[in-house]
């Protein structure tokens, strides 16, 4: 069995905690709007201030995502994106960058279809650092969470405003890497992050776990990043970033020369809001 040994997430959060700083996580979908453009955006992210990359594995039926990420998934698939190509991109990224953690985010069916052990082996070989699989709650831990744990590969859990403390115990049982707090009741990119509620929720989570806490869903502006990173260990921005990609495309939905730069300059602006930067 291939084991994960890189530990990039722990290294990142240990370093940031020692400086009382927080992280910016940026979500993009692998292959949006096409393989080459997407890879160049990905490669440019660390320099613009992204501390970790949430790398979306495109899926035809992204049940927990709002219109922006649905559209980005669709663009990636239409441009020939697949799970295999997602892993190829991770591999290519690692040829030039060996420190930025990459968390693969997606839905279970393409993984199940790929084969669990093969998937875990390929993920570790490619150089990814953790998994977020949206439609695998603790009730289905035997599927992937436990096998990932056996390989030492972090399996990140989502919690939400609707997660009771009783439920939280179940959710955190096999959680590793960090905790992803979904700040709104709803889907990605729809409402604005409710900062006050998030403050209470993060405090509550800290009482239940020593894992770093990242907040996502509804973080759209530099101001949001500023507010959230004051409270949590990381802020994750997704919909705004893929919207920037969408808005930069030509009428046929193809990348224009400025697509990469427009997207990266948004990230630079967001990064300016991060605590400790």
Partner 1 sequence: MSYKEIANTLRNAPDENGHFGIFGGQYVAETLMPLIIEVCNAWRASKNDPSFWSELEYYRKHYIGRPSPLYLAGRLTEHFNGAKLYFKRDELNHTGAHKINNVMGQALIARRMGKTKIIAETGAGQHGVATATACALFNLECEVFMGAEDVKRQKPNVDRMRLLGAKIHPVTSGSSTLKDAMNEALRYWVSKAETHFYIIGTVAGPHPYPEMVRDFQCVIGEETKEQIMAAEGRLPDTLVACIGGGSNAIGLFHPFLDDDVKIIGVEAAGHGVETGLHAASLTGGRPGILHGNRTYLLQNEDGQITEAHSISAGLDYPGIGPEHSWLFENGRVDYVCATDQEALEAFALCSRLEGIIPALEPAHALAYIATIIKTLPKNHIIVMNMCGRGDKDLEAVLPLLEKMGKL
In the complex, the residues that contact partner 1 under the rule CB under 8 A are 59-67, 70, 74, 77, 82-84, 107-114, 134-137, 139-140, 157-160, 162-164, 167, 171, 182, 184-187, 190
Give me the least distance between CB of 84 and partner 1, in Å please.
8
- Catalytic, 78? Answer no
Strands (E), the chain: 23-29, 52-56, 102-106, 130-133, 157-159, 179-182, 213-216, 234-237
Residue from 88, 99, 5, 86 nearest 52 by CA: 99
- Catalytic, 269? Answer no
115 contacts: CB under 8 Å, gap ≥ 6: none
Residue number, 44 or 110, with CB nearest to partner 1: 110
Residue number, 13 or 180, with CB nearest to partner 1: 180
Count the alpha carbons within 13 Å of 99 in the hemisphere toward its beta carbon.
9
Look at the alpha carbons of 60, 134, 27, 117 in this order and tell me if their dihedral is positive or negative. negative
User: Considering 54, 122, 129, 240, which one is annotated as catalytic?
Assistant: 54
CA distance 86 to 212: 26
Residue 105 three-state SS: strand
Give me the least distance between CB of 72 and partner 1, in Å please.
12
Angle among Cα 274, 239, 28 to the nearest 5 degrees reads: 80
Residue number, 10 or 170, with CB nearest to partner 1: 170
Residue number, 17 or 84, with CB nearest to partner 1: 84
Give me the least distance between CB of 162 and partner 1, in Å please.
5
User: Considering 65, 122, 129, 233, which one is annotated as catalytic?
Assistant: 65
Q: Give the active site residues.
A: 54, 65
């Amino acid at each position: 069995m291939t084991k994960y040994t890189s530990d990039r997430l722990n290294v990142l959060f240990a370093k940031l905690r020692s400086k009382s700083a927080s992280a910016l996580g940026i979500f993009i979908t692998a292959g949006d709007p096409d393989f080459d453009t997407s890879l160049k955006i990905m490669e440019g992210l660390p320099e613009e201030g992204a501390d970790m990359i949430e790398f979306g594995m495109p899926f035809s039926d992204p049940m927990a995502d709002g219109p922006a990420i649905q559209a980005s998934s669709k663009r990636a698939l239409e441009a020939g994106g697949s799970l295999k190509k997602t892993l190829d991109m991770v591999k290519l990224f690692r040829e030039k960058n060996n420190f930025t953690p990459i968390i693969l985010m997606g839905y279970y069916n393409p993984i199940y279809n790929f084969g669990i052990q093969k998937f875990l082996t390929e993920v570790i070989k490619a150089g990814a650092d953790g998994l977020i699989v949206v439609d695998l709650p603790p009730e289905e831990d035997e599927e992937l969470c436990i096998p990932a744990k056996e390989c030492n590969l972090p399996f990140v859990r989502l919690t939400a405003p609707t997660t009771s403390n009783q439920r939280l115990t179940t959710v955190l049982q096999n959680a590793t890497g960090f905790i992803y707090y979904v700040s709104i009741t709803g889907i990605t990119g729809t409402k604005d992050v409710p900062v006050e509620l998030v403050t209470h929720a993060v405090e509550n989570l800290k009482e239940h776990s020593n894992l770093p806490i990242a907040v996502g869903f509804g973080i759209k502006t530099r101001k949001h990043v500023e507010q959230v990173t004051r409270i949590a260990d990381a802020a994750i921005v997704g919909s705004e970033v893929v919207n920037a990609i969408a808005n930069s495309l030509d009428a046929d939905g193809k990348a224009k020369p400025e697509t990469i730069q427009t997207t990266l300059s948004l990230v630079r602006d967001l990064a300016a809001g991060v605590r400790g930067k």
